[in-house]
Structure 1
Amino acid sequence: MTDVVRLESVSKIYGRGQSAVAALREMSVGIPRGSFTAVMGPSGSGKSTFLHCSAGLDVPSSGSVRLGGTELAGMDESALTELRRRRVGFVFQAFNLVSALTVLENITLPLRLAGAKVDGAWLAEIVGRVGLDGRTGHRPAQLSGGQQQRVAIARALVTRPEVVFGDEPTGALDTMTARDVLVLLREVVSSLGQTVVMVTHDPVAASYADTVLFLADGRIVDSMAAPTAEKVAERMTRLGAWN
């Protein structure tokens, strides 16, 4: 499998002089196309910075980030915005839906912002896959939290992105609803060949991934294939100060 995202010697430093903080330190990693990767680590380990740099939301202090065949370094903000709009999907803990828009309008918003046409067949497929048939005319306030997150996932998929980034996508959901969303993300990878990268603090959520990357102090200190919740939880106790 080829890498859809590739970081080479990426560092991210906030502040200067005595107050400088290194959020990422010389990080090199590839995310294979068609894979589900979970990213875990203690608070302050660099998880969010890793996601933001990988997705073109933040610019590394040094190093190289490639999305597909595109080097992100040197791109200006308008070019990065265009790249994110067309080639990257996002799912956040806060659903970030527009309350005045219907489900269908929220899902197709990235296409409208990009001035792109809606592929009716693809739209119908993802609406069906995320279980929103019969709900497309509703407003977000008429939906449960789990349904709102399904709208967010459909919105992330509508542009056929090269990768979907999730930042604690189940963090605001109850256990059963979170499981439904994780099953959906797993299905998106297995059935549609989508690439998903998910930051999470939950070992159960991480167990749905193909691989877990463990971060501590801005570095990848371990990875785990075929994770289970028990193995992930046990490994998390030995990160950071216990590494």
Structure 2
Amino acid sequence: MPPSDLTDRPAAARLVNVTRRYGRGDGTVHALRGVSLTLPVGSFTAVMGPSGSGKSTFLRCASGLDRPSSGTVHLGDTELTALRERRLTLLRRERIGFVFQSFNLVPSLTARENILLPLRLAGRRPDRAWLRDIVERTGLTDRLRHRPAELSGGQRQRVALARALVTRPDVVFADEPTGALDLAARQAVLGLLREVVDAMGQTVVMVTHDPVAAAHADRVLFLADGSVVDVMDAASAERIADRVHRLEPR
């Protein structure tokens, strides 16, 4: 599945020797231990590992939601770890998209208003052609006037994905995006993630516990005890499940 030239592409994001520690003294927790990797432009990367392996901390540091204890994080040519909080907040709004398991939609807004919310907060006008393309790809054309309570779980996640894409971000970070969905909705959302990479050139990073979901990615990173311990390209769900099983504590 993965393009053979991924290693030749420029970096959408880079982590260089990133560590993240919580607490002090004997109570220190080492959530990330010297993680260095590159996320190529137009790639789909899945991140897997046992509970407590550092998956969520990796996503938070890579996306600028959390600052590492040491090391650097780069989005394109911009070093996130060098930015002040206000500039970092603006950068996340304009250049990073987020999709979460809990959707994080505003209940009082329609689907269309939720999709356009990042642009509204940034004071930017929508690119109508881009918006139309996103809405059509996510299958939301006839749901734009519905509020979240009037949508199924799969439709709400598609709204969240459309919202993440509307600013044309450098990277979309997805944290367990299919965890709250039924089988049909999971497959639809995973298909959309694959499509935005293949057809739109988007860069996607997805944290997941589901080997079937991870099998949609170009590359799977395996974390254990805060370190990247293995990488698989174009792996089947069976191979991925076996590798995760071997990382589980005995």
Q: Normalising to structure 1: TM-score of the pair?
A: 0.98
Deviation digits for residues 75-125 of structure 1 (CA, Å, limit 9, x no counterpart): 121111101000000000001100100111000000000111111111111
1:44-193 correspondence to structure 2 within 5 Å? 44-193=52-201
Residue of structure 1 in register with 2:6 after alignment: none
> Residues of 1 paired with 2:69 and 2:163: CA distance?
31
Structure 2's unaligned 5+ residue stretches are 1-8
How far 1:3 sits from its partner (Å)? 1.1
Residue of structure 2 in register with 1:34 after alignment: 42
Deviation digits for residues 157-216 of structure 1 (CA, Å, limit 9, x no counterpart): 000000000000000001111011000100000000000000000000000000000000
Query: Which letter maps to 2:207?
Result: V
Superposed CA RMSD in Å reads 0.8
Residue of structure 2 in register with 1:219 after alignment: 227
> Residues of 1 paired with 2:104 and 2:80: CA distance?
25
Q: Normalising to structure 2: TM-score of the pair?
A: 0.95
- For the Cα contact (< 8 Å) 1:51–1:165, is it kept in 2? yes
In structure 2, which of residues 7, 15, 31 is the aligned counterpart of residue 7 of structure 1? 15
- For the Cα contact (< 8 Å) 1:25–1:218, is it kept in 2? yes
Query: Which letter maps to 1:188?
Result: V
In structure 1, which of residues 198, 203, 210 is the aligned counterpart of residue 218 of structure 2? 210
> Residues of 2 paired with 1:160 and 1:189: CA distance?
12
How far 1:241 sits from its partner (Å)? 3.7
- Indicate the percent of aligned positions where both proteins have the same amino acid: 64
- For the Cα contact (< 8 Å) 1:7–1:27, is it kept in 2? yes
Aligned length: 242
Question: What stretches of structure 1 move > 3 A for 4+ residues in a row?
Answer: none
Query: Which letter maps to 1:78?
Result: R
Residue of structure 2 in register with 1:17 after alignment: 25
- For the Cα contact (< 8 Å) 1:40–1:201, is it kept in 2? yes
Stretch deviating more after TM superposition (55-64 or 69-78): 69-78
How far 1:4 sits from its partner (Å)? 0.6
